[in-house]
Every structure is written in C-alpha cells, then in structure tokens.
Structure 1
C-alpha cells in the first residue's frame, strides 16, 4: 500500500510538472529568441569593434612614412581586404567556418595606401551555450516545481492516508468480531435442526446465516486482498466443489431449485484455496439468486485436454450488459440484494490465475458461466 501511495504521488507530481512545462513553453520560446537575438547583437558588435581596429590601423599606415603594414590579427576573426574590383589584397588564416555557424560584415574603406576598398570580417558563432543555458534553467525550474508539488501532495494526502489506515484497522477488527458470533449462530441453528426442530423459521434463519457468511467472506477477501499473499497449492477441485454445493443445497431448496451435477472425480488444480472457493461460491450463489423458481441449475466439472472446465448454467432473466457485469458494484437487479462485488472478485481472481471466463446469457437458454483452468 505504501509503495502504491508513493507511485501515485510520483505520477501526479510528474503530471502537474508536465502541465507546468506546457504552460511555460510559449514564454520559454520567446525568451530563447530574445537570448539568441542578444547573442547575435553581441557578436555583431564584436565584429564592428574589430573592423574599427583594422580601419584605424589602415588609416595610421596611410598617414605614416612606414613601408610595412602590420595587420591586426585575431584568432577569433577571419579578415579579407579587397580592391574595388573584388580582388583579394590580403586574407588572414582560413578558419574553415561553416556557412550555418558564421556571422559576417562588410565595411567600405576610405582611400588608403593599400588600395583596399572593402574589408570583410567573419566570426564563428555557436548557439550551444544559449541552448544549454535554457535547458539547465528549465530543468532546474522543473525540478523545483516537481519537488514542490510532490511535497505538497504528500502533505495534503497524509491525513487521508492515516484515516484510511484507521478505517482498514476498524474493518479488520469489525470482521474479526463478526466472525465468531456468526459461527456460533450457524452452529446452534444446525444443532437445533439436527435435533429435529424442523420449521420454516429455523430453515430461513440457517439460510440467512449462510448468506451472511457469503457476504462476510467476500468483504473479508476485499480487505485482505492487498496485504495477504495467496499462495497456490494443488487443490482437489472435485472434492471442494462437492463440499461447497452441499452448503448451497438448503438455499436452493427454499426456491425449489434442483442441482444437476456432472462432476468428474480427482480433478486437481494449482490454485489458492480461497481464490477457488470465491469463484465457486459467487458463481453458484448468483445462479441460485437469479434463477426462476422450480428450475434446475447444471453444474459441470470436467477435464478437457490439459485444462479443467467448470461451468454453472441456470434458467432466469438474461444478463443485459455482459461487458459491465464484472464491474465492481454493478448490479442489474437491485431488488435481489447484495453489493455487486462478487463477480468483480471473481474476475480479479481469474486475471491473477490466468483463468479464462466465458459468459453466455439470453432469455431462451438462460445464463452460462464457464471457467477454463489451464493447469
């Protein structure tokens, strides 16, 4: 539970951080363009400043009596002096600058002793530093936002987390306290029945207690589902199924429903006993609950190739929406009672154990639940 809570907070924090980045994408775009424009202006200013240095040197040479002109060189710039006819007079070392990563200016020179008319200056430029700066800034802001959101969400759900823990503890204690009196009630009712005190009132009380146990076991499973390790064992499916049918026989008798059993003996399945019992109990109890009176429920357990097929068929109203019937709290008939959790438990158990579910339901042929256990 703690691990799932952490994962939930992490996902929510990442989600809101992503939303934050979407909102700042446009401002970041404009800020990046401003930075690029500022960088270009700076590089252009450096070109102009160096061009002015060269112009000053040419001017000083033209006004001097020296026969030697010392060209102001720099490893950052590539300079070319051209005549009016675009012939090269002088060129510094070629920096092999790519066309996409250079900036150039052309300056027209005044009359001079070198007969140079034009000065072309080229400088290598790179936007990597700007992009790296934007990336580091974005990641820093993103990390700050993520940590802030994470801590805020964690602090905000802490009271709910504690309340949930108290609620789980309450339900665990309540279920523990309920089990003993329920067991005593059922035991005493069965003793009375064994003594020959047969009556409709006694029979109804026994059946009501059995129904309470079914609900109790479903709720207990839901509470313990996340915290208990349900280990698999080699279960005698045939024997357990017969046992559970015996428990349901009195419930079926109250509605004059008969069981038609075709159960092969000695069929074993590698599954947890609680998981298998929940599949059997919920499927049979639903078949009884939603069957028409004085009908027959067919229960089949057989081996097919390397698989075991368990099916329950009853005659009653068709299931309208077979896609949602396995959803939690989904009930098509609210008059029949129940919480709508039984089939959802069955579906989850089948997914855990790789059990295939087949459901067929119509008004003419009734409803068939079929489970294929791949051993």
Structure 2
C-alpha cells in the first residue's frame, strides 16, 4: 500500500504536471476561445437579422391587407422600436427607452417602405454578452483539468508503486543489516579493548581499534540518516563543555596513530538546548575529518567559548579544501583516496539548518581548515 507521504508526493507531482499541461493548452485554447466568441457574435447577429426581417414582412403584409389590427411580432430576446424620420417614437415592445450608446447590445436599424403605420425606420436590439461562452469555456477547462490531473495521478501512482516497493524493501534490508551489524561491532570493540589492556604496546591491536572506530563513525552516520525522517529528536539541556571533552577522548587513539595532538581551549559550564545525537554528529564528523586530512606530527585546535554566541571551532593544519562551497553536498568527496561516502558533512549541514546553527568554513590549500559553529543565544542556558 502506498503511504500517506507517497500519496502526498504523487498528488503534488500530478498537480504540477497538470498545471504545466494546462499552460501549454492555453495557447490553442486562446485561439479556440476567440473563434467561439466570433462564431457566437455572428450567430446572434444572424438571429437579429432574421427577427428584423420578420417584422419588416409583417409591416409590409399589414400595409397590403385590409385589416385594421396589426399584430407586432414580439420576442423575449429582442426589443423593437418604430420611429419617424424626426426620431419620434411610434411604438416599442418594451418599456425601456432606446439608447444607441448602451453597451452590451446588438443593434439593427433598417429603413421601411411607406406603410400604414407611418413608420420610417425600424430599430431592433438584443442584449448581448459573452457570459454563455465564458461559462462554456470554464466548464470545458475544468473538466479537462480534472481529467488530466486524474490521469496523471493514476499514471504516476502506477509508475511509482514498483519503486516504492523496492524502496520499502531496501529500507527494511538496511534496518535489518544495521541491527545485525551493531552487535558484532560491539563484540569486536570489547574484545579488542580487552586485548589492548593485556598488550598495551601492540601496534596491530591499536590499528584494529582505530579502524573499528572509523567503521563505527560511518555506522553512526548511516544510522542517523535512516532514523532522521522516522523519529523525532528530543532536545535537552546539554552540558556542551563536558560532552565535547568526552567526544574528544574517543578520538585520542585515532589522533595518536598519526602523532596528532589536540590543543584544547574549552570553557566550562556552557549549556545548549539541543538533541544529543545531533550535536554528536556535528562534533564527530568535524573532528574525524580534521584527523583524516591532517598531516602527521601536527595538532588540531579545538575551542569552545562564549561571546555573543557560543562558538565551537575546530582547526587543523592539513591539506586544506579546494572548494568550500561544495563540501556539504551529499556524496561529495574532496579526496577520493581518503575514502568515505561523502555523507558526513551533509548530515552536519542539515542538522545546523534544523537548529539555526551558523557554519563558517575558512580553508587554505596546504595550510589547513577551520570549521566554526555559531549557536544562537536562545538555544543555550547557563547553569
């Protein structure tokens, strides 16, 4: 079954396509409308001519007859007036006075042959507007729009359904796979840490642990992407100072493998009202990238301070970034040799947008990069 979100997407897509199709149809529809208006006006004028001719015949027949009673042809659609040459009204079929300047009317004026009514000319008028045509065009447009929309909706629904089923299958597969991976990764980490305790100087175990930590960071990014649109991330008053120190400790072994040291300048007791998992993704992705792209025997400067805002900055002295405007795009990788999926900084960008966190990136090639995050005062509370 297609879910509510998918139905909403199909509805919006069908509506958009219908709008475009109707726009394209408007050009021939315009010419069709003009043709209909001209045809309608021509037919109304023709009816006016017929009725005028009918009155002329009746006057002529009455003049040739010996009858003293003249039955003036009347109609609910036409108003008729008999005048003398001095514009004196002799007879009319309506109580309304004749106004030649009146808009929205058709007028037919004909001279009469000498007759027993002593009328010199006849004027016949008919109220005229395009309301009938406009109603017709509006109904046709409405029916056509509904037909196009329903057709597109059904076509798109049938087209998307297989992809929706495949997507649901992939979602279920990834959820199951992530669930199955979590337990063995935890077991591997636990056993490696136990081995490291017994053999503290083993470089092989350290490398395994560092590789496992990188794998866990990738796992957490993918897990966040899967859960992002399905759960609500609850915010809390978080001690960012303490939390940042805890996250830095987890990266100590990774940094040590490249002889990188952390230069920390973290103010104490700075609190944020934010979701713990989201700020963890911001911190972890930024620090892991700083380590990944730093040269050996360098340092990474991590600062957390409060000015007008709370500012978190992480600076490395690595290879730098060629184009800072593209690094937050999903699946973009500045250096394909370093590996990764190109999703980490995209996650960071989305989290920052959701929480009104401003990002500032300064980078110079072969000199390093600095990532700064500015947290609004409204989202933190001092303890």
The equivalent of 1:31 in structure 2 is 32
Contact 2:90 2:119 in 1 (8 A): no
Question: C-alpha displacement at 1:119, in angstroms?
Answer: 1.6
Deviations 1:3-37 (A, max 9, x none): 43223212221122123213322332233233323
Tell me how far apart the structure 2 counterparts of residues 282 and 102 of structure 1 sit (CA, whole Å). Answer: 77
| Cα 1:95–1:357 shift into 2, 3 Å | farther
Deviates more, 1:278-287 or 1:295-304: 295-304
Question: C-alpha displacement at 1:321, in angstroms?
Answer: 1.0
Deviates more, 1:67-76 or 1:137-146: 67-76
The equivalent of 2:87 in structure 1 is 87
Q: Does 2:325 correspond to 1:323? A: yes
Q: CA RMSD in A?
A: 2.0
The equivalent of 1:350 in structure 2 is 352
Q: What TM-score, normalized to structure 1?
A: 0.93
1:287 to 290, 296, 308: 290
Mark the runs of 5 or more structure 2 residues left unpaired by the alignment: none
Q: What TM-score, normalized to structure 2?
A: 0.91
Q: Counterparts in 2 of 1:11-30, with a 5 A limit?
A: 11-30=12-31
Mark the runs of 5 or more structure 1 residues left unpaired by the alignment: none
Question: C-alpha displacement at 1:46, in angstroms?
Answer: 2.4
Secondary structure (helix, strand or coil) at the match of 1:111 reads: coil
The equivalent of 2:227 in structure 1 is 224
Q: Counterparts in 2 of 1:194-233, with a 5 A limit?
A: 194-233=197-236
Question: C-alpha displacement at 1:90, in angstroms?
Answer: 2.1
Deviates more, 1:14-23 or 1:202-211: 14-23
The equivalent of 1:304 in structure 2 is 307
1:265 to 251, 268, 272: 268
Contact 2:319 2:367 in 1 (8 A): no
Contact 1:80 1:88 in 2 (8 A): no
Deviations 1:91-143 (A, max 9, x none): 42336777431111222322323343322211111211111111011101110
Deviations 1:266-291 (A, max 9, x none): 22111111001101100000000111
Tell me how far apart the structure 1 counterparts of residues 236 and 67 of structure 2 sit (CA, whole Å). Answer: 105
Deviations 1:42-98 (A, max 9, x none): 322322232233223322332234556554344432323344x45334242336777
The equivalent of 1:63 in structure 2 is 64
Q: Counterparts in 2 of 1:119-134, with a 5 A limit?
A: 119-134=122-137
Deviates more, 1:69-78 or 1:166-175: 69-78
Tell me how far apart the structure 2 counterparts of residues 274 and 41 of structure 1 sit (CA, whole Å). Answer: 74
Q: Does 2:252 correspond to 1:244? A: no
The equivalent of 2:375 in structure 1 is 373
Deviations 1:149-193 (A, max 9, x none): 101111111111011011001001101111111111111111111
Q: Does 2:335 correspond to 1:338? A: no
Deviations 1:270-316 (A, max 9, x none): 111100110110000000011121111000111224x3211101101
| Cα 1:3–1:95 shift into 2, 3 Å | farther
Secondary structure (helix, strand or coil) at the match of 1:161 reads: helix
